[in-house]
Amino acid sequence: MAVAEWKKELTDNFSETVAWRRHLHQYPEPSFEEIETSLFIKEKLEAFGVDEIRTNVGNGYGIVGKIIGKHPGPTVALRADFDALRVTEEVDSPFKSKHAGIMHACGHDGHTAALLSVAKVMAKHKDDLHGTIVFLHQHAEEVIPGGAKSMVEDGAINDVDVVFGIHLDASQPVNHVFYTYDFGSANSDSFTMRIQGKGGHGADPHNTHDALTIGSQIVTALQHIVSRLTDPVKPAVLSFAGFQAGGEANNIIADSAEIKGTVRTLHGDVQQLIETKLQTMSQSIAQAFDASVEVDYMKGYPSIQNSSKEVDRVKETLLNTFSKDEVSHLDGSMGGEDFAYFLQKKPGAFLRVGAKAKDVAVAYPHHHPKFDIDEQSLLRSGEVFLAIIETYLTK
């Protein structure tokens, strides 16, 4: 059986896959600056004998590779992102980041190595394929506007029938695979408010418009949006993440204040309501106290909408491939992920692969300086990609 051979080759190549991941881990590059990373990927795809390779796809260093099967059939796209974060690594390992202040702290090095390992195997098995595999090596997932949207606009998935992505998940046990129905991530927006009051002496509050207390009123009042104004059966999160005002001395009333936060929603009407209320409530409060406020509301990535039909199909293969207790459903999260743009255009799904080592009780979260993965998850990620190929491209 062809698929058994693919899996054997993937396993045989595992130490090489790990070496690729460690190389990428040592030389991480932040979003939109992944010059060496994209070159590394391109050279590998060329060496494997991938049929078509497009570089500089979208608004950065995106790469699209294609393996065209011997037999006609559908086209399946597989995505791995490859950017790192501006985080200073605190994990001591022989392959610790050599780029100061930059780290693969989200596992994108693992996604990339796993997808490359699949390209290497499948380039040798075009005869087995009824259809085409498109490899989406995506730049800049971590920083808005992201790379996915522009890759879609640049035609990366024009000829594609279904699209799949995976993300390692360090909070879940290694070798476990998770599928999600419906929403996988949230509309992820952010906002900044600048309050302009009138500073002055702390002993003369009546001659000031205290930006700090006005800002406090705004923060408190806006807590009512999610608890009182949005439909309780439609998820929403409004979190404040920063408040800066005054601080020059104990007796100076703040002239201005800056407040930052994030808004997460699944439904367009809720998103719109929160944006509107952020504006009107903060303006009314500022006005009431003779100050003014400027609100910048920035729309981020839309929410991932998985296609039930494709989840059904892949789930069946996963359950036939792995032991039953290793494959399960995982609820979507209110996090953001620009894979959503691929799913806005084509059906497909976003899967998660556990990456927490067996001897670790609670893993450090993604984006943490001590974030780490169990590299066994790279092999499992490759096997998941092969299961997707098996589902769509074998007869």
Coil, helix or strand at residue 244: strand
d(CA 110, CA 374): 10
Sheet (strand 71-81) strand order? 52-57, 62-68, 130-138, 71-81, 162-173, 348-356, 177-179, 327-329
Contact 305, 343 (CB under 8 A): yes
Our CB check for Zn ion shows the closer of 135 and 371 to be 371
> Are the C-beta atoms of 160 and 346 separated by less than 8 Å?
yes
Minimal CB distance to Zn ion: which residue?
Answer: 106
Total of chain residues touching Zn ion, rule CB under 5 A: 1
Q: Name the active-site residue from 83, 109, 310, 375.
A: 83
The residue annotated as part of the active site, out of 29, 34, 128, 141, is: 141
- CB closer to Zn ion out of 109 and 383: 109
For Zn ion, the closer CB: 165 or 261 = 165
- For Zn ion, what does the binding mask look like between residues 64 and 103, x meaning CB under 5 A? ----------------------------------------
Residue 15 CB: number of other CB atoms within 10 A?
Answer: 9
* Residue 102 CB, nearest approach to Zn ion (Å): 13
| Choices 105-113, 124-132, 169-177, 317-325; region in contact with Zn ion by CB under 5 A | 105-113
Query: By the 8 A CB rule, do 59 and 143 touch?
Result: no
User: 10 Å Cβ neighbour count for 205?
Assistant: 12
350 contacts 166 by C-beta, under 8 angstroms? yes
141 has catalytic annotation? yes
Q: Of the candidates 373, 357, 328, which has an alpha carbon nearest to the alpha carbon of residue 105?
A: 373
Nearer to Zn ion, 110 or 261 (CB): 110
Our finding on whether 353 is near Zn ion (CB under 5 A) is no
Stretch that binds Zn ion, among 106-114, 157-165, 197-205, 328-336 (CB under 5 A): 106-114
* CB-nearer residue toward Zn ion: 140 or 327: 140
Q: How far is the CB of 43 from Zn ion (least distance, A)?
A: 24
- Return d(Cα 355, Cα 9) in angstroms, integer: 22
Any alpha helices (H) in the chain, and if so which ranges? Answer: 2-12, 14-26, 35-48, 108-122, 148-153, 211-224, 268-288, 308-321, 340-345, 376-393
231 is catalytic: no
106 near Zn ion, judged by CB under 5 A:
yes
User: Residues 10 to 29: which contact Zn ion by CB under 5 A?
Assistant: none
Interaction of residue 266 with Zn ion, rule CB under 5 A: no
Binding residues (CB under 5 A) for Zn ion: these are 106
Cite the active site residues.
Answer: 83, 141
